[in-house]
Chain A
Amino acid sequence: MAIADVKEYTHLTEDEVEQLGRELDAIRAEVEESRNADDAAYINRLIKVQRGLAAGGRVAMLASAHTRAGRPALVAGTAMLAVAKILENMEIGHNVMHGQWDWMNDPEIHSSNWEWDTAQPAEQWKHSHNYIHHQFTNVLGHDNDIGYGILRMAREQKWHPVNLGQPVYNALLAGLFQWGVALHDLDIERIRKGEKDPGEMRRQLRQILRKGRNQILKDYVVYPALSGPAWRSTLRANATANVARNLWSYVIIFCGHFPDGALHFTEEELEDETRAEWYLRQMLGSANFEGGRALHVLSGSLGYQIEHHLFPDLPSNRYPEIAVKVRALCEKYDIPYTIGPLHRQYGQALRTIMKLSVPNSWTSSDQPEPPSPSRDRKRRSDAERPARRPELGGWARSPRERSHD
């Protein structure tokens, strides 16, 4: 079931929704005013740990290649590199690019010039993610993250025989996640329909090729070459670290909006949507998962998906304290707060992938209410979307490249 009007769905009056919006604004203001040296120390420490792990992992692999350290060093190095890549992509890169740390006025940790350790150029990520996904969260036809143009993830999306392959596409996407992400902002569906500006496409492709080439050279040519005769094991170790990062980020990201209870919306909801209604849509469209501190850090604080969608540019180390307040608000206004253990959330997402590979009539819906009629799956261009909201973190269309790229 897709929702055309969040107010109606939640049975809140217009005043109640606006009041909720004000309470959320107050939470935001409180965090903004209290950002301090401890927050700065958190991100600085995390960056230090992450770079230490990355360097340590590379050194361990080289030690295994050139000394008698052998296999234990190789295994340790692979694990360290995988964790380093996960931390860099999730808790550091993703959050820095949202502008969560811009308030520090530190040009080395700033959304405008952060480049992350994955194939997708930061600039394209900031467009496809900060803007498209965070503003149009779960709105059919607007949010390209509903299935990433590869999977059918909502019953409102029309079934096509191609969807029968979903279990296979899903497995491929999981293993090659960084490359799927790299191509995401190209919007292959629009290219296929000939709706994409060819100049813009060439520019984006050039960017992806340059970034991807550097990434591949590093992991699959330079470090193996430095390993001498043991090049094969270094190459395998790097591939393992990359795949581990791919699988992990895939699982975490699929837990954000695909578990049961995370709702979809139709285009009507966007019409005259107020800031408070936007907040409400973020709460209804996102799902959290439970876990300890280490799990949350390794998943880029995306276990606090609801809080992250409400306040994408507040420092991630504050999400736990924000979550307590948001949950209380949900109880006060009787709004669902979707949360569960990681394995259940992912299990539900996986089950939806399987179910939606076949026509709706073969399966039952896992959402409480009956499905509304199928809608066209046409994707909108930026020009067809409503003007953007300012609190989502930056995105750029200017290739202000960093000098060493």
Chain B
Amino acid sequence: MTSTIPWDRVRRAGSKLTTPLHPDDYLRLINPLWTSRELRGRVEKVVPETEDAATLVIRPGWGWRWDHRPGQYIGIGIEVDGRFQWRSYSVSSPTKQDGRTIAITVRAMPEGLLSSHLVNGLEPGTIVRLASPEGDFTLPDPPPARILFLVGGSGVTPVMSMLRTLDRRGSMPDVVLHYSSPTPARMIFRDELLDLEGRHDGLRFHQLHTDTDGVLDLADLDGLCPDWRERETWACGPGPMLDAISEHFERAGLEERLHVERFSLQLGGDGGEGGKLTFRNSGKEIEADGATTLLEAGEQAGVGMPYGCRMGICHTCTVTLVSGTIRDLRNGDELGQPNEPVQTCVTAAVGDCTLDI
């Protein structure tokens, strides 16, 4: 939103009245959304999508920049038993420049306390913390002329944001959507997708019900979408499905054309060597092996480590590495510049390290 009022300067002037606090620290007590110190949002509606999935319509507070690109995810932090717990979910609403709300669609996982709480336990009016949109699983603007979406289960959510954006802009190119779901009833957005297909000549919607028809065999792709090799492809869904798709595209030498979104931590890289971790502010120390993340080690040492998704996407856990070298457990990259901010949930020590917390 562009504004003629220089809010930053107003706030800076206001902070002379509220130092050492920020004016927002007071204003948020009047309206919880009137603060940009931490991004917040109010849950406006919880819309059931299927038996175990719901869309949360959230109105973000001050400081939210309406710049999310279709396909990106946001972090959401909710208070459970007094503690803030963070997860990341794809935005399912279309991109808007001047919107008032954003929507995420969540499926309750059998073991997922937080996702169940989000789907079944969240009252409209609840204030949640938010983290800015992130992720490279996005649709370029303008979109490519021919697109293939391969989605499974709740992996439809980022793709839904893309399709809704294309629909809103009236720029639907030639799109094939292949959507796997155990049953029609569990298929999130099924009615809306059928409606979109009816309104756009360019959109073809394949449904695969895996309870009756089995999972997608990629050998069938030639029959389902003969020109898949010429399409930009976006794939999102369960890990095994994405592994199979990645392999299939690599074999065809088309990995450049494939965009994949994973929502689980993949620790492909080797562990570090481990070492002594020193937490400078709290003075605590602990020996950690190369497979233990800095976050886990800090928690074992009793340090109040900030944390979020615990899988390397939300950056809530970022802490400054004062000295030492660490390894990113996802890809084996080593990081060790002095005073480098590092994601503690996906990194482990290579030798002794000092963290600024």
Q: Which residues of A contact B (CB under 8 A)?
A: 35-41, 48, 51-52, 54-55, 58, 99, 102-108, 110-112, 115-117, 126, 131, 211, 214-215, 217-218, 222-223, 388-398, 400, 402, 404-405
Contacts and interface: CB of A to CB of B under 8 A. Distances in A.
B82 to A, nearest CB: 3
Contacts of B306: 105, 107, 110
B357 to A, nearest CB: 6
Most buried by A among B17, B20, B281, B322: B20
A214 B19 contact: yes
A146 B62 CA distance: 47
Interface string B11-43: 110011111111001100100000001100000
A116 B20 CA distance: 6
A222 B16 contact: yes
A395 B84 contact: no
B281 A395 contact: yes
B282 A99 contact: yes
Interface in B270-297: 280-285
A214 B283 CA distance: 30
A261 to B, nearest CB: 30
B199 interface: no
| Best-buried of B19, B301, B356 by chain A (most CB within 10 Å) | B19
B243 interface: no
Interface of B: 11-12, 15-22, 25-26, 29, 37-38, 79, 81-85, 280-285, 301-302, 304, 306-307, 320, 322, 356-357
A397 to B, nearest CB: 7
B82 A39 contact: yes
Nearest to B80: A37
Contact of A40 (B82, B281, B284, B357): B82
A217 B16 contact: yes
A112 B304 CA distance: 9
Contact of B20 (A110, A117, A393): A117
B24 to A, nearest CB: 9
B38 A102 contact: no
A102 B304 contact: yes
B284 A52 contact: no
A49 to B, nearest CB: 10
Contacts of A215: 19-20
A48 B281 contact: no
A48 B29 contact: yes
B356 A51 contact: no
Nearest to B285: A390
B302 A112 contact: no
A388 B281 CA distance: 12
7 contacts: A52-B29, A117-B20, A211-B20, A215-B20, A390-B285, A390-B302, A397-B280
B20 A36 contact: no
A218 B17 contact: yes
A36 B283 contact: no
A39 B81 CA distance: 9
B19 A390 contact: no
B83 A108 contact: no
Top 9 A-B residue pairs of the complex, sorted by shortest distance between their CB atoms = A102-B304, A40-B82, A115-B20, A394-B281, A390-B284, A394-B282, A105-B84, A396-B281, A37-B82
Given A218-B18, A390-B285, 15 more contacts: A37-B79, A37-B81, A51-B21, A103-B304, A107-B38, A108-B25, A214-B20, A215-B19, A218-B17, A393-B282, A395-B281, A398-B280, A398-B322, A402-B20, A405-B19
A169 to B, nearest CB: 28
Nearest to B14: A404
Contacts of A116: 20
Contacts of B302: 390-391
B283 A395 contact: yes
B282 A390 contact: yes
Contacts of B16: 214, 217-218, 222
B354 to A, nearest CB: 11
B280 A396 contact: yes
B87 to A, nearest CB: 13
A404 B20 CA distance: 8
Contact of A104 (B29, B84, B357): B84
Contact of B307 (A35, A105, A108): A105
B319 to A, nearest CB: 9
A404 B12 contact: yes
Nearest to A389: B283
Contact of A223 (B17, B283, B356, B357): B17
A40 B21 CA distance: 20
Contacts of B25: 51, 108
B15 A404 contact: yes
A393 B19 CA distance: 24
Contact of B283 (A39, A110, A388, A400): A388
A41 B82 CA distance: 8
Contacts of B322: 398
A110 B17 contact: no
A131 B81 CA distance: 30
Contacts of B280: 396-398
Contacts of A38: 82
Among A41, A110, A112, A397, the one with the most B-chain Cβ atoms within 10 Å of its Cβ is A112
A211 to B, nearest CB: 7
Given A37-B79, A103-B83, A398 B301 contact: no
A390 B301 contact: yes
Given A99-B304, A110-B304, A222-B17, A390 B356 contact: no
A221 B61 CA distance: 32
Contacts of B18: 218
A396 B79 CA distance: 28
Contacts of B285: 390
Given A218-B19, A222-B16, A404-B15, A111 B304 contact: yes
Contacts of A104: 79, 82-84
Given A39-B82, A218-B17, A390-B283, A400 B356 contact: yes
A112 B279 CA distance: 12
A102 B4 CA distance: 39
B38 A108 contact: yes
Contacts of B284: 390
A217 B282 CA distance: 32
A120 to B, nearest CB: 11
Among A37, A39, A215, A223, chain B packs the most CB atoms within 10 A around the CB of: A37
Contacts of B26: 51, 54-55
A35 B82 contact: yes
Residue among B18, B84, B283, B306 facing the most chain A CB atoms (10 A cut-off): B283
A281 B90 CA distance: 54
A58 B18 CA distance: 10
A114 B129 CA distance: 19
A89 to B, nearest CB: 11
B17 A112 contact: no
Contacts of A55: 26
